[in-house]
Chains A and B, each alone.
Chain A
Amino acid sequence: MSGVLDRLRERFPADVVSVHSNFGDDTALVRRERIVEILVFLRDDPELLFDFAMDLTGVDYLGEEPRFEVVYHLYSLEKKRRVRVKVRLHEDDPVIDTAVPVWPGIDWYEREAWDMYGIVFRGHPNLKRILMYEAFEGHPLRKDYPKAKRQPTIGPEE
């Protein structure tokens, strides 16, 4: 186990559900309630300094409970290391607080996760579709969205 995960566990003992470092990737599964606090801690703690939000995505584990997962990939410029933070969300309540106040650059990633998986980022300044068009129905990367399904393509809304 690495220093990053130890430190995170020490600071948030009740919120870190599990950790692993499989394949050399430090990973923490945390509860969604204090996600913004956790991300701010990862960004600002002098021993961690994860100043880059490199990536955010959703994963649909259809058939498992909780069904959805939100995955953050952070990078520290100074410490030259990465961490992955994951949060599980239930299908009937796929809501998590937005991280836009922590990293403005995460804005579009959250929009994409909403577009593709229907994960709602509470407090997001502009949560609308990004790759698909507004009239598109459903969330195409969900496992129960058929790959061959066709929807009418339309122009931009007036």
Chain B
Amino acid sequence: MAEPVHIATKGGTPDLQAEPMLINIGPSHPATHATLRFQAKLDGETILDLEPEFGYLHRGFEKESEASTWTQVVPYTDRLNYVSPLMNNVGYAMAVEKLCGIEITERCKYVRVILSELSRIIDHMVCIGTNMVDLGALTNFWYFWKPREEVYKLIEELCGQRLTTSYTRIGGAMADLPEGWTDRALAVCRGVIPGCIADVNALLTKNRIFIERTMGVGPISAKDAVALGFTGPCLRAAGVPLDLRKDQPYLVYDRFDFDVPVGEAGDTCDRYMVRMEEMRQSLRIIEQAVAQLPGGPIDIDDPRFVLPPKAQVYENIEALMNHFKFIMEGVKVPAGEVYSATEAANGELGFYIVSRGGGGPYKIKVRPPCFPLFQGIPHLVKGQMIADLIAVLGSVNIIAGELDR
């Protein structure tokens, strides 16, 4: 059995002795928002120790990928971070393109930037919204649900799906933007999203209850955050300005003017503030990207990687054979290994890919941003109250889809 612990009290009353209590949270619990499980060792309400457990959503992404063609893996990537699937599509396509030595078209780069930033906004909205539900502030959730719905309408128009987008292809995209799509996207970015961010900001940022529930809750120092491998908003909230869009610019991020917000304490409040500001910065990027969006084709002009046009497939035996080989055997990707990282909503999303020259990957390893974040949760909450665990868990934004793969 566990050792009895001494509870020191400040008021001069004698110490009470109590046995630590073991409490199980999850794997199916409304506040975990995913199939996660914790075993918490409590002294009263104070967390002495916490053991996270996961894997309940493991579906063998990497094993399945090894038996698929390169393009067949794209739908699997939707299911990694299902809150911002377009970013996973982009991350995966970029990794394969790096291996193939493909330079995608200018238009495709801008389209990928616009879609990534829209995804970042809705990802942060879900994170803040559900985090606030757990803290009892349900209104914010609904305030963020409206703009999210508007963005989903844009995504649905783009690829016919809301969640399982599978938008990117090796060397381009499934289709170009629909007619007038950028105008509608701009209307959402100008007319809907800023107002909702302002509403939530007005409800929360100076709200005393919110501040008391989040400030100083689940803090982490910059040094510890680096040692634990934190990336994304959780790392920036601790004061480390690592953002791959700035530090190792990919696509065309070096052409935009935007800021990387950082916090100081690395606590739940700072994580919230960083995410709020990142949404505003993403809007800035989208404005600039749409203004600079060039014309031209979305796919590269290379029959080795891109499917022949459908009209040709119906008329031309050459194109038909090509189409058949593409679908059945897959794109021929040269042998080698690459690691390609993008700044996803939660942090660095890395793909390590090994190819042996076949039509499908020999190995794919995803580096999900949540993985080290979830590992760091005991560090964030030890010595804090059990109710704070819920606040911290929401603010770290664990997505079981990418955590468990």
Contacts and interface: CB of A to CB of B under 8 A. Distances in A.
A73 B341 CA distance: 11
Interface in A90-132: 103-109, 116, 130-132
Interface in B336-357: 336-339, 341, 348, 350, 352, 354
A57 B350 CA distance: 12
A76 to B, nearest CB: 10
A132 B63 contact: no
A80 B63 contact: no
B376 A80 contact: no
7 shortest interchain CB distances as A-B pairs: A105-B229, A105-B228, A131-B55, A57-B365, A55-B367, A131-B58, A108-B375
Residue among B99, B348, B352 facing the most chain A CB atoms (10 A cut-off) = B352
A124 B92 CA distance: 31
B183 interface: no
Contacts of B350: 54-55, 73
B368 to A, nearest CB: 10
Contact of A108 (B37, B67, B352, B371): B371
Interface residues of A, number: 37
B207 to A, nearest CB: 33
Nearest to A71: B352
B404 interface: yes
Nearest to B225: A105
Contacts of B227: 51, 103-105
Contacts of A54: 229, 231, 341, 348, 350, 367
Contact of A82 (B339, B375, B405): B339
Nearest to A126: B51
Nearest to B223: A51
A107 B339 contact: no
A4 interface: no
A57 B337 CA distance: 13
B156 interface: no
A30 B99 CA distance: 23
A25 interface: yes
A39 interface: no
B325 interface: no
B62 interface: yes
A38 interface: no
Contact of B367 (A22, A51, A73, A145): A73
Given A23-B99, A105-B228, A131-B58, A59 B67 contact: no
> Interface residues of A: mostly helix, strand, loop or mixed?
mixed
A147 B64 CA distance: 7
Given A59-B354, A80-B247, A82-B339, A147 B229 contact: no
Contact size class for B?
A: 35 or more
Contacts of B107: none
> Interface residues of B: mostly helix, strand, loop or mixed?
mixed
Given A107-B375, A130-B55, A147-B67, 8 more contacts: A54-B231, A104-B228, A105-B376, A116-B62, A131-B58, A132-B58, A145-B63, A156-B37
Contacts of A88: none
Interface string A19-35: 00011110100000000
Interface string B85-119: 00000000000001101000000000000000000
Given A103-B229, A105-B227, A105-B372, A133 B365 contact: no
B380 interface: no
A140 B63 contact: yes
Contacts of A55: 339, 350, 352, 365, 367
A103 B350 CA distance: 18
Contacts of B229: 52-54, 103, 105-106
A105 B66 CA distance: 27
A106 B375 CA distance: 9
B8 interface: no
A1 interface: no
Interface in B26-54: 37, 53-54
A61 to B, nearest CB: 9
Contact of A84 (B248, B339, B363, B375): B339
Contacts of A23: 98-99, 101, 336-338
Interface string A59-88: 110000000000101010100101010000
B363 A59 contact: yes
A143 to B, nearest CB: 8
